[in-house]
Amino acid sequence: MATIYDVARMAGVSPATVSRVFNGVGVSVAKVAAVRQAAEQLNFTPNRTARTLRRQSSEVIALVIPDIENPYFTEMARGVEDVASEAGYSVVLCNSDAQVEKESTYLRIAIAEHMSGVIVAAASDRTNLDELLGTGRPVVAVDRSTGHDIDGVVMANRDAGLSATENLIESGYRRIAHIAGPEHIETAAERAEGWRRALAAHDLPSEGLLRFSSFRVDGGREVMEELLALPEPPDAVVAGNNLIGVGAIQVLTERGLTPPLVGVAVIGSLPFTTLSPSLVTVVRLPARHMGVMAARMLLDRISGDDQPARTVVLRNELLPASVSR
Amino acid sequence: MATIYDVARMAGVSPATVSRVFNGVGVSVAKVAAVRQAAEQLNFTPNRTARTLRRQSSEVIALVIPDIENPYFTEMARGVEDVASEAGYSVVLCNSDAQVEKESTYLRIAIAEHMSGVIVAAASDRTNLDELLGTGRPVVAVDRSTGHDIDGVVMANRDAGLSATENLIESGYRRIAHIAGPEHIETAAERAEGWRRALAAHDLPSEGLLRFSSFRVDGGREVMEELLALPEPPDAVVAGNNLIGVGAIQVLTERGLTPPLVGVAVIGSLPFTTLSPSLVTVVRLPARHMGVMAARMLLDRISGDDQPARTVVLRNELLPASVSR
DNA sequence: ATGAAAGCGCTAACAG
DNA sequence: CTGTTAGCGCTTTCAT
């Protein structure tokens, strides 16, 4: 690999001048031309590692998410990436697999690699950002808030749970279960709270109808089966996220209980569903937009913005099933 | 951030010794203990950028894929990540968005950041690896082969197209269309070739029944609509990948032509489908395994293996629909 | 086994 | 506008 010295020699200038050419500072047109030509000829690319070491920061941001196979998070990643790459930043995607240890490893790498900032969807409420924040790096929380006083972008989760449930109530369902995500994850708890409130407001029963699960397809399947095995099974169900929804609908379909025979409302979109869209209620969560907002806030912080921490709450959109029992 | 010098001073040793402690070379137990304790106290993490600059290589590999929102590729990414992280490597995921220019940018970053190797699912047949290969870095092609003489892992695409089509023929369908991916993408062309052969072998018509599209849901939807508008519409369809399959099934469902009314075979899994699995034929492609194999080959190369280039072809598994017309 | 010292390739004062 | 120079933090000879 050619270095800045090779280019300098070939162009008959000093290494500093070559550096300047590649960093947009004032250099005479003649030398710029000479340097560019030499660089071209030598196939020179500035060595980012050296630049990073010298500058103590790199144009890379880390995005740490708990499940790279969940379309909700990949949609969000697209939003982050679009904003970041527009601004000349690269995004490295890290999959914490919902494990705090893996998450810590990636956060440590972000520090050790001098990345400029981090966007993190916390693996759990035990996520520890102290070390990262101690380095002064900007960090933005997405999807789930953390215990720390930092910028964040979250969904209106309680509202989502509430409106999903109310929609089912309006459609005439009366025994509405909720398959929530893990109990210690904020989004899950909040959505469950919304579900509970909706039922309470309409004097409907909730006892025995709330189940915590994993935010995954098999979690949704398992719990749906349990619910159907109940002496008095529910006539409708609110799925705590997209994957739980998929699992629940799969089980219902296999049993011939295709919605709207059993009412289904899902918190989150079902991008790859093959079901006719009018059969289930969906609360669309603006995942891409969440990524966009988070990236913008992070970039602001990186360029020195030091306002007090902000939390943005994103509204969601109810797409009611158009067919009911 | 504490440096190796801070630790050295505190532990009463030289910086070189600290370095040795963190690189597993022979150091007396007493000093090891002193260094570890000092490091702990100062919360020291070796600076990777400096290490990379010095060593001219980093324990990071890049994985470049054309669509991060496609579960096929994220499943593959999981396979890569599991193997890599086991071996102490981190994986940075880069989304080329099926654009050769974005892809080039990421490949250039991989060089400039001294990454140890690259796994790439080529954006198109115009993907250019010359610059990357010129640096001597190991590169493994996945999913799609490249023009270059490098290791690769691909699916048995022709076979996949063939067996998907034959399954539909056996189920009694006679007018079988194929919605393929982009014509200039190898996987699409090969699967189409399999479809064509199956039809030819059974003296069935193919004329006007092959459509190239994008490997995305809207591509599948669009073409499915076109096909249904034909004067003589097909009675079955082979979808060129998972997303095309989703789009096609969505359109059929909306028209009340739910499979098996119209036969559907999909090349690729439908992880988030809510359709009863027995209604469509699926050719399962071992995406995770592809990632695992690719990562292993790359790691081998990184540790110096210099055998001639190998190409691994992965067999797929036919999961026939259990219900037919 | 340990330390001293020389860079890896780049950028940012500082002079001129 | 341009060149000289001193590191960024680490690893790795080369001595000892």
Is A161 within 8 Å of A192 (Cβ atoms)?
yes
Alpha-carbon torsion, ordered B15, B20, B21, B25, to 10 deg: -160
Percentage of chain A surpassing pLDDT 70? 99
| SS3 sequence of chain A | CCCHHHHHHHHCCCHHHHHHHCCCCCCCHHHHHHHHHHHHHHCCCCCHHHHHHHHCCEEEEEEEECCCCCHHHHHHHHHHHHHHHHCCCEEEEEECCCCHHHHHHHHHHHHHCCEEEEEECCCCCCCCCHHHHHCCCCEEEECCCCCCCCEEEEECHHHHHHHHHHHHHHCCCCCEEEEECCCCCHHHHHHHHHHHHHHHHCCCCCCCCEEECCCCHHHHHHHHHHHHCCCCCCCEEEECCHHHHHHHHHHHHHCCCCCCCCEEEEECCCCCCCCCHHHCEEEECCHHHHHHHHHHHHHHHHCCCCCCCCEEEECCEEECCCCCC
Q: Does B81 touch chain A (CB under 8 A)?
A: yes
Contact A1 B111 (CB under 8 A): yes
Strand D and B47 CB separated by under 7 Å: yes
For the question of whether the overall pTM of this predicted structure is more than 0.85, the answer is yes
- Return left, alpha or beta for B56; rule: phi > 0 is left, psi -120 to 50 is alpha, else beta: left
Read off the pLDDT band of A324 (50, 70, 90).
low
**Range from A155-164, A244-253, B86-95, B186-195 carrying the lowest mean pLDDT:** B86-95
Percentage of chain B surpassing pLDDT 90? 76
Is A13 within 8 Å of A31 (Cβ atoms)?
yes
Strand C and chain A: which residues 35-64 have CB closer than 7 Å?
A: 44, 46-47, 50-51, 53-55
Read off the pLDDT band of B324 (50, 70, 90).
low
| SS3 sequence of A4-50 | HHHHHHHHCCCHHHHHHHCCCCCCCHHHHHHHHHHHHHHCCCCCHHH
Question: Does the structure show a pLDDT above 90 at A207?
Answer: yes
Residues of B in contact with A254 (CB under 8 A): 276
Q: Is the dihedral of CA A57, A61, A65, A69 positive or negative?
A: negative
Average pLDDT over residues A66-70: 94
Is B8 within 8 Å of B17 (Cβ atoms)?
yes
Return the pLDDT at B273: 86
Contact B113 A49 (CB under 8 A): yes
Higher pLDDT residue, B77 or A105? B77
Per-residue pLDDT tens over the stretch B208-235: 999 999 999 999 999 999 999 999 999 9
Look at the block and give the residue holding tokens 């070796």.
B46
Question: Does the structure show a pLDDT above 70 at B194?
Answer: yes
* Cα(B72)–Cα(B239) distance, integer angstroms: 14
Give residues 202 to 231 of A whose Cβ lies within 8 Å of B.
Answer: 217
Question: Does the structure show a pLDDT above 90 at A25?
Answer: no
A197-204 — which CB contacts under 8 Å span 24+ positions? A197/A158, A197/A161, A197/A162, A198/A161, A198/A162, A198/A163, A198/A165, A198/A166, A198/A169, A199/A165, A199/A169, A202/A166, A202/A169, A204/A169, A204/A174, A204/A175, A204/A176
Residue A164: CA atoms inside 13 Å, Cβ hemisphere, count? 40
Single-letter amino acid, residue B41 = Q
Look at the block and give the residue holding tokens 């989703």.
B246
CA of A321 to nearest chain B CA: how many angstroms apart? 14
Higher pLDDT residue, B234 or B303? B234
Question: Does the structure show a pLDDT above 80 at B325?
Answer: no
Return the pLDDT at B105: 85
- Is B137 in a helix, a strand, or coil? coil
- Is B88 in a helix, a strand, or coil? coil
What's the CA–C1' distance between B283 and D5, in Å?
64
Residue A149's Cβ-count burial label (10 Å; 0-12, 13-18, 19+) is exposed
Return the pLDDT at A174: 96
Return the pLDDT at B113: 83
**B112: nt with nearest C1' to CA:** C9
Strand D and chain B: which residues 132-191 have CB closer than 7 Å?
A: none
CB atoms near residue B86 (< 10 Å): 10
What's the CA–C1' distance between A14 and D10, in Å?
26
Read off the pLDDT band of B13 (50, 70, 90).
very high
Residues of B in contact with A256 (CB under 8 A): none
Residues of A in contact with B85 (CB under 8 A): 102
Return the pLDDT at A27: 84
Helix B48-55 and helix A48-55: axis angle, to 10°? Answer: 140
Contact A53 B48 (CB under 8 A): no
Strand D and B23 CB separated by under 7 Å: yes
Decide the pairing of beta strands B139-142 and B151-155.
Answer: parallel
Question: Does the structure show a pLDDT above 80 at A75?
Answer: yes
Q: Does B254 touch chain A (CB under 8 A)?
A: yes
Strand D and A14 CB separated by under 7 Å: yes
Question: Does the structure show a pLDDT above 90 at B319?
Answer: yes
Return the pLDDT at A277: 66
Question: Does the structure show a pLDDT above 90 at A77?
Answer: yes
Give the nearest partner residue to B49 out of A49, A106, A250, using CB atoms.
A49
Strand order in the sheet with A210-212: A210-212, A176-180, A236-239, A263-267, A281-284, A317-319
Question: Does the structure show a pLDDT above 70 at B17?
Answer: yes
Higher pLDDT residue, B175 or B86? B175
* Cα(B50)–Cα(B122) distance, integer angstroms: 32
Query: CA angle at residue B319 from B317 to B325, to 5 degrees?
Result: 145
Return the pLDDT at B277: 66
Strand order in the sheet with B58-65: B90-95, B58-65, B115-120, B139-142, B151-155, B311-314
* Cα(A279)–Cα(B272) distance, integer angstroms: 16
Read off the pLDDT band of B135 (50, 70, 90).
confident
Residues of B in contact with A135 (CB under 8 A): 1
Question: Does the structure show a pLDDT above 70 at A208?
Answer: yes
B3 φ, ψ (degrees, to nearest 5): -110, 175
Is A296 within 8 Å of A142 (Cβ atoms)?
no
Average pLDDT over residues A87-94: 88
Strand D and chain A: which residues 35-54 have CB closer than 7 Å?
A: 50, 53-54
Average pLDDT over residues A267-283: 87
Per-residue pLDDT tens over the stretch B251-297: 999 999 999 999 999 999 998 888 776 789 999 999 999 999 999 99
Q: Does A288 touch chain B (CB under 8 A)?
A: no
Question: Does the structure show a pLDDT above 90 at A325?
Answer: no
Give the nearest partner residue to A253 out of B43, B270, B274, using CB atoms.
B274
Residues 6+ apart with CB under 8 A from B86: none
Average pLDDT over residues A25-36: 88
Tell me, rounded to whole angstroms, the distance of Cα B296 from its chain centroid. Answer: 14
